[in-house]
């Protein structure tokens, strides 16, 4: 059939349109399949597939002795994934029965839906998990997870912190070192349909998780437990609102124990901070130890000079300084021992406010220690716009300055070790997969903040504070303690002044005095009715030192021998006999039977005093120091101190009523008063010591 011209034109136009349509379609397909393929493939992948995280096993935390203090335990968690509505109803009924829920409430409570993943309960008890495993309907599943466990309960919890339900660190070491402990997550894939319903969860990992790094803390959990027990006991005994403490290794700055106790805290299982690093307070008289550093090093006053302490009341500008007692003339040593505000203020004024400020700044007061725990504060040490006499006096006796317990402990550790200030450390190192120490942190020395000679002199003065000063309640027959008390009024934020009847009571010190190993601080908030630091914090410090010495008797009961100097613990030791009341010859025979020697202050008489006291352990060939009645009754003569340790010197001279100044460390090699010379109460003997 012959088509008309018009029909041919229509067919041609239709053919062109069809060809054009297919050409456009092909071009679009080429554009989508070739040029836009990567973009749309990624969209499809995101819509139809995904990944689910597989948590890594968290690293284990050890104390310095190898005790596990933070571990992982396996727990089962329950989740639902019903395939259809029938299975959904069975799951809901079972959950209502299992967890004693109201009828028809489970679906709403847990947001149950078919073909949807929903957590029901994490970290089930083992008994409940076994019961569910044996009787649960389809659509309920158990997944094994790890949960953090702290074998020592609340002991050290303020250092360790805690983790949340997903095992992420939320406080303490767990938070600060979370990236190290957490490891790397693994991944498994999931598949979804076009409506984004999950229809397959593959537990097999695409990327295996990497376990977290285990670490070793510097903390000694034995000491940590002692400190926490003593804080709780002290809080009850002294009627305080809260307590805090920190103890360091004098020679490395490593934290051996740190804790606080406050019954007002809502949840002790989830402590958010450690107050020894996060809370600042006015230290009061305990800061006089640092003031004394500047006074001694600048030679502001000679130890033989006396300071008039104004009978307990002295006007400085518009203010009046008070002492707790009415003191008259005191030597510098007595100013420290009796904690005279007026005496130390006069010394500081002679030194000058600028130099005093520089001394305190050397000890890094007012600066963070960067110990590695969250919430640390730097305290407050500000230079006034001008140095008035009162500004200098207030700073010298521990007012107008705020510190943390860790800063005080660090400063006293520097005094104890001869002047080296170390940054407090909390991590000893990391542990590899074989359980060996993979890396070890090194002590970081921040500077030499005082000379060895100043440290030696100040250590003997601080020993006197404990022996016969404001901290006599901290004196121990078990271990020699040196330190300083503090009793500071608490600032009143409303009146901008101070509460007249609320105090921060503190004691900072170190032990054993003749060869310091540990330095520490204990602080009580508002103890009542006794608020003095020496009779509250000092007592607790003494108890901690004594209990710790019982853990390591070879370090403390025979004071001048160290653990490294003897191969076997407590071998070659004997109990000291009771020589009091014996004639000298009989006392020497009794001592010789136990392999000991006797050193007396004369050649004849009856023993009326001895050191060490009876029943203490002493090494073979050690000496028992005795005083005899004949010589004591007539006139007091100087003891032969050569070869004695500072602890032995302290015991002898205290009994004789003789004060002393020490230069050097170790044992006495010379004394300014010859043996046998007549001495009177208050006489000062200068001693030179060196290691032997």
Task: Tell me how far CA of residue 258 lies from CA of 138, 159, 237, 555, in angstroms.
Answer: 51, 7, 20, 22
Helix (H, G, I), strand (E, B) or coil at 360: helix
670: tokens are 């010379």
Q: Are 554 and 572 in contact (CB under 8 A)?
A: no
Query: Is 505:218 a contact under the CB 8 Å cutoff?
Result: no
Query: Does pLDDT of 303 surpass 80?
Result: no
Residue 342 pLDDT class (50, 70, 90 cuts) = very high
Give the per-residue pLDDT at 601.
85
pLDDT score at 557: 42
Contact yes or no for 171/374 (Cβ under 8 A): yes
**Does the structure show a pLDDT above 70 at 201?**
no
- pLDDT of 525 reads 97
H/E run at residue 61: strand 61-62
Torsion angle of the four alpha carbons 413, 414, 417, 420, in this order, in degrees rounded to the nearest 10 = 140
Residue 200 has pLDDT above 70, yes or no: no
Give yes or no for residue 332 having a pLDDT over 50: yes
Helix, strand, or coil here: 431?
strand
DSSP calls for 65-119:
TS-EEEEEEEEEEEEE--SSHHHHHHHHHHHHHHTTPPTT-HHHHHT--TT--EE
pLDDT in tens, 106-141: 988 999 988 888 888 988 888 998 888 888 888 888
pLDDT for residue 169 = 92
Q: Which of 421, 453, 469, 475 is nearest to 285 (CA)?
A: 469
**Residue with the larger pLDDT of the pair 434 and 217:** 217
Among 37-46, 260-269, 315-324, 578-587, the minimum mean pLDDT is found in 37-46
Give the residue-averaged pLDDT of 604-619. Answer: 80
**pLDDT at res. 568:** 39
Task: For residue range 52-88, list pLDDT tens digits in order.
Answer: 566 788 999 999 988 999 999 888 888 888 888 888 8
Q: Which of 252-261, 370-379, 435-444 has the lowest mean pLDDT?
A: 435-444
Distance of CA 415 to the CA centre of its chain: 19
Q: What does the mean pLDDT of the chain come to?
A: 86
% of the chain beyond a pLDDT of 90: 51
pLDDT at 608 over 80: yes
Determine the pLDDT at residue 203: 47
Q: What is the pLDDT of residues 288-300, one digit of tens each?
A: 999 999 999 999 9
Reported confidence tier of residue 222, pLDDT bands at 50, 70, 90: very high
Threshold 0.85, pTM exceeds: no
For residue 130, the surrounding DSSP H or E stretch is helix 126-135
Query: How confident is the model at residue 330, as a pLDDT?
Result: 94
- At residue 206, does pLDDT exceed 70? no
195-199, 265-269, 446-450, 554-558 — most confident range: 446-450
Strand order in the sheet with 607-611: 597-600, 623-628, 607-611
pLDDT at 563 over 50: no
Taking 70 as the threshold, does the pLDDT of residue 283 lie above it? yes
- Please check the confidence at residue 605 and state whether its pLDDT lies above 80: yes
Average pLDDT over residues 245-267: 95
Query: Is residue 606 within 8 Å of residue 630, measured between CB atoms?
Result: yes
Higher pLDDT: 198 or 44? It is 44
C-alpha to C-alpha distance for 99 and 116, rounded to whole angstroms:
21
Q: What is the mean pLDDT of residues 225-240?
A: 97
pLDDT for res 152: 95
Q: What is the DSSP letter of 627?
A: E
Cα dist. 143→98, 128, 171, 444, 541 in Å? 18, 13, 27, 45, 49
Which domains are present in the chain? 53-217 (3.90.1310.10), 221-265+282-556 (3.40.710.10), 572-690 (3.30.10.20)
* pLDDT 10s digits, 457-486: 899 899 999 988 999 999 988 888 999 999
With left for phi above 0 and alpha for psi between -120 and 50, is residue 556 left, alpha or beta?
alpha
**Average pLDDT over every residue of 330-348:** 95
pLDDT at 403 (0 to 100): 98
| pLDDT band at residue 564 under the 50/70/90 scheme | very low
Token readout for 478 is 């078990």
SS3 549: helix
For residues 550 and 168, the model is more confident at: 168
Q: How confident is the model at residue 554 (pLDDT cuts 50, 70, 90)?
A: low
How confident is residue 4, by pLDDT bands cut at 50, 70 and 90? confident
Strand pairing of 186-192 and 198-201? Answer: antiparallel
Is the pLDDT assigned to residue 368 strictly greater than 80?
A: yes
Distance from C-alpha of 657 to C-alpha of 662, rounded to nearest angstrom: 16
Question: ω into residue 529 within 30 of 0, thus cis?
Answer: yes
Q: Does 677 have pLDDT greater than 70?
A: yes
B/e letters for 494-530, b = 16+ CB within 10 Å, e = fewer, are: eeeeeeeebbbbbbbbbbbbbbbbbbbbbbbbbbeee
* pLDDT at residue 440, as a whole number: 85
User: How far lies 193's CA from each of 12, 46, 47, 111, 204, in Å?
Assistant: 46, 11, 8, 21, 20
pLDDT score at 57: 85
Q: Please confirm whether the linkage preceding 650 is cis (ω < 30° from 0).
A: no
For residue 377, CA distances in Å to 16, 170, 353, 427, 567 come to 82, 18, 25, 19, 44
Residue 29 is encoded by which pair of tokens?
């397909």
Closest CA to 69 of 141, 134, 149: 149
Would you say residue 562 has pLDDT above 70? Answer: no
């Amino acid at each position: 059939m012959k088509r008309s011209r018009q029909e041919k034109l229509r067919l041609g136009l239709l053919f062109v349109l069809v060809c054009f349509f297919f050409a456009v379609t092909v071009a679009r397909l080429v554009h989508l399949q070739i040029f836009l393929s990567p973009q749309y493939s990624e969209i499809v992948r995101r819509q139809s597939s995904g990944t689910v995280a597989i948590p890594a096993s968290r690293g284990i935390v050890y104390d310095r002795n190898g005790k596990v203090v933070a571990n992982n335990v396996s727990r089962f968690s329950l989740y639902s994934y019903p395939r259809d509505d029938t299975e959904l109803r069975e799951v809901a009924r079972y959950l209502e029965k299992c967890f004693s829920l109201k009828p028809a409430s489970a679906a709403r409570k847990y947001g149950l839906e078919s073909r949807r993943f929903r957590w029901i309960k994490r970290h089930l008890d083992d008994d409940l998990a076994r019961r569910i495993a044996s009787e649960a309907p389809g659509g309920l599943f158990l997944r094994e997870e790890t949960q953090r466990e702290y074998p020592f309960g609340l002991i050290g919890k303020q250092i360790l912190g805690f983790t949340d339900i997903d095992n992420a660190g939320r406080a303490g070491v767990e938070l600060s070192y979370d990236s190290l402990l957490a490891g790397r997550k693994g991944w498994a894939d999931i598949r979804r349909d076009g409506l984004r319903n999950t229809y397959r969860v593959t537990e097999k990992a695409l990327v295996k998780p990497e376990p977290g790094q285990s670490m070793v803390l510097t903390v000694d959990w034995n000491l940590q437990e002692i400190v926490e027990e003593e804080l709780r006991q002290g809080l009850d005994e002294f009627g305080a609102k809260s307590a805090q403490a920190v103890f360091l290794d004098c020679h490395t700055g490593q934290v051996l124990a740190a804790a606080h106790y406050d019954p007002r805290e809502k949840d002790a299982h989830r402590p958010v901070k450690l107050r020894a690093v996060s809370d600042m307070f006015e230290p009061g008289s305990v800061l006089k130890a640092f003031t004394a550093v500047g006074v001694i090093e600048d030679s502001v006053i000679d130890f033989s000079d006396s300071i008039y302490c104004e009978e307990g009341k002295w006007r400085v500008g518009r203010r009046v300084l008070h002492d707790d007692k009415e003191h008259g003339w005191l030597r510098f040593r007595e100013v420290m021992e009796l904690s005279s505000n007026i005496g130390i203020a006069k010394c500081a004024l002679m030194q000058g406010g600028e130099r005093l400020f520089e001394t305190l700044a050397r000890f890094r007061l007012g600066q963070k220690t960067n110990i590695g725990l969250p919430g640390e504060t730097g305290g407050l040490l500000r230079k006034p716009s001008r140095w008035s006499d009162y500004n200098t006096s207030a700073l010298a006796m521990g007012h107008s300055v705020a510190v943390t317990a860790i800063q005080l402990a660090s400063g006293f550790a520097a005094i104890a070790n001869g002047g080296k200030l170390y940054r407090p450390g909390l991590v000893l190192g990391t542990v590899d997969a074989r359980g060996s120490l993979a890396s070890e942190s090194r002590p970081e020395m921040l500077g030499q903040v005082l000379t060895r000679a100043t440290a030696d002199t100040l250590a003997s003065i601080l020993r006197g504070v404990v022996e016969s000063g404001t901290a006599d309640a901290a004196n121990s027959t078990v271990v020699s303690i040196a330190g300083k008390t503090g009793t500071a009024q608490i600032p009143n934020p409303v009146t901008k002044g101070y509460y007249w009847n609320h105090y921060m009571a503190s004691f900072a010190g170190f032990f054993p005095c003749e060869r310091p190993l540990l330095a520490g601080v204990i602080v009580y908030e508002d103890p009542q009715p006794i608020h003095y630091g020496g009779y509250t914090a000092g007592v607790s410090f003494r108890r901690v030192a004594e209990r710790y010495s019982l853990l390591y008797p070879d370090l403390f009961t025979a004071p001048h021998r160290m653990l490294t100097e003897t191969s076997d613990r407590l071998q070659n030791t004997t109990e000291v006999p009771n020589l009091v009341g014996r004639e000298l010859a009989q006392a020497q025979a009794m001592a010789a039977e136990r392999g000991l020697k006797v050193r007396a202050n004369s050649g004849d008489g009856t023993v009326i005093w001895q050191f060490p006291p009876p029943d203490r352990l002493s090494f073979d060939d050690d000496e028992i120091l005795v005083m005899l009645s004949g010589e004591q009754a007539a006139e007091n003569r100087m003891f032969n101190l050569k070869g004695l340790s500072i602890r032995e010197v302290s015991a002898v001279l205290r009994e004789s009523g003789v004060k002393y100044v020490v230069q050097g460390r170790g044992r006495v090699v010379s004394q300014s008063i010859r043996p046998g010379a007549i001495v009177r109460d208050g006489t000062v003997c200068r001693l030179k010591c060196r290691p032997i």
